[in-house]
Amino acid sequence: MLGKLIDGKAIAEQINAETVAEIACLKEQYGLTPGLAVVLVGENPGSATYVSMKDKMCSRLGLHSERISFPASTSEGELLAILNDLNFKREIHGILVQSPLPPQISAEDIFASVDPSKDVDGFHPLNIGKLALGDPTGFAPCTPAGVHELLIRSGVKTDGAHVVVLGRSRIVGRPVSLILSQKAPDANATVTVCHSRSRNLAEICRSADILIAAIGVPHFVTADMVRDGAVVIDVGINRVEDKAVDKGYRLVGDVAFDAVAPKASLITPVPGGVGPMTIAMLMHNTVRAAQMRHGVA
């Protein structure tokens, strides 16, 4: 029997509705409009699509947004200068630098240059450190925070559960493992992080109550890697060739959905699972940054 779908679109809409109410309150009581600046370097089609989606969501929810685009030839110094200006811009409360960046620009240097209080993507070393320490005053990266909200709002109990995370990136794998292992409500899980050097990978995955796939390989997780009744969260978004559709490709996850869904108690689809949550949490973080900066959190 097909596992019950976790509807990321519907849950993201719940969060967006809460964000709209918070924005209305800030405008009415304090005359404050939260502002987000999104910086795009280069012409990566996927990045451009994401930035456009973020622009549209800002407009829809009532945030002030600024999109700043640069050619792929932009130097690291030029980008740092713009970020410095944004750090001091009063109407901007959140800054996001879209990844990936061109090879001449160090992502580590760029992430570290953003004011931590405006780092709504949660990649500044200070915010990563706060996440590791369980300090709630920092910002968690949007996709891991979105995964956490999916679990909470789907009624998945993490206390004492064994969570297996496939992938150890600083964008998803590591931070989601930190979130779920914290001594906190809706956390308290035993977390195993797997990666390319992990031995007996299928066996480890089969031991999971909750399996989170964030490895970036299409259909990597097969049915033999999932135990009956597990919760499966697919973070992967991969383009695979499909000449049967006009675009010439389709989006698939890291999980072989058709084979795994019958074994899972709950499972996220791709698209429509984790993806909408990432943007919803970005909007949420931007509003929270505005609240904190003006002392109304």
Q: Provide the CATH topology of domain 142-276.
A: Rossmann fold (3.40.50)
Residue positions counted in the chain: 297
pLDDT tens-place string over residues 141-200 = 999 999 999 999 999 999 999 999 999 999 999 999 999 999 999 999 999 999 989 999
Residue among 54, 118, 130, 263 flagged as catalytic: 54
Residue 247 annotated as catalytic:
no
* Structural tokens at position 218: 């299409």
Residue type for position 207: S
Find out whether the peptide bond into 71 is cis, omega within 30 degrees of 0. no
Residue 54 annotated as catalytic:
yes
Residue 291 annotated as catalytic:
no
In the predicted model, is pLDDT for residue 50 greater than 90?
no
In terms of Cβ atoms closer than 10 Å to its own Cβ (0-12, 13-18, 19+), residue 78 is middle
CB 34, CB 63: distance < 8 Å: yes
Split at pLDDT 50, 70, 90, the class of 135 is very high
- Residue 251, C-beta contacts closer than 8 angstroms, at least 6 positions apart: 237, 238, 239, 240, 270, 271
Higher pLDDT, 27 or 46: 27
Write the CA distances from 160 to 150, 151, 183, 184, 191, integer angstroms.
Answer: 18, 14, 11, 12, 10
pLDDT tens-place string over residues 87-104 = 999 999 999 999 999 999
Q: Which pLDDT score, from 0 to 100, does residue 297 have?
A: 67
Split at pLDDT 50, 70, 90, the class of 47 is confident
Write the CA distances from 65 to 14, 60, 138, 176, integer angstroms.
Answer: 21, 11, 22, 27
Find out whether the peptide bond into 144 is cis, omega within 30 degrees of 0. no
Distance CA 263, CA 272 (A): 20
Where in the chain does DSSP place strands (E)? 4-5, 35-41, 64-70, 94-97, 162-166, 190-194, 210-213, 231-234, 238-241, 249-252, 266-267
31-117 and 142-276, same CATH topology: yes
Q: Mean pLDDT score of the chain, rounded to an integer?
A: 95
User: Model-level pTM?
Assistant: 0.95
Residue among 115, 118, 119, 121 flagged as catalytic: 121
* Domain residue extents for the chain: 31-117, 142-276
| CATH classification for the domain delimited by 31-117, as one of 3.30.559.10, 3.40.50.300, 3.40.50.10860, 3.10.270.10 | 3.40.50.10860
Split at pLDDT 50, 70, 90, the class of 2 is low
CB 175, CB 144: distance < 8 Å: yes
pLDDT tens-place string over residues 65-80 = 999 999 999 999 999 9
Where in 92-243 does DSSP place strands (E)? 94-97, 162-166, 190-194, 210-213, 231-234, 238-241
pLDDT tens-place string over residues 227-252 = 999 999 999 998 888 888 888 888 89
Distance CA 257, CA 247 (A): 21
Of 41-45, 88-92, 133-137, which range is least confident? Answer: 41-45
Q: Which pLDDT score, from 0 to 100, does residue 45 have?
A: 82
Distance CA 65, CA 8 (A): 24
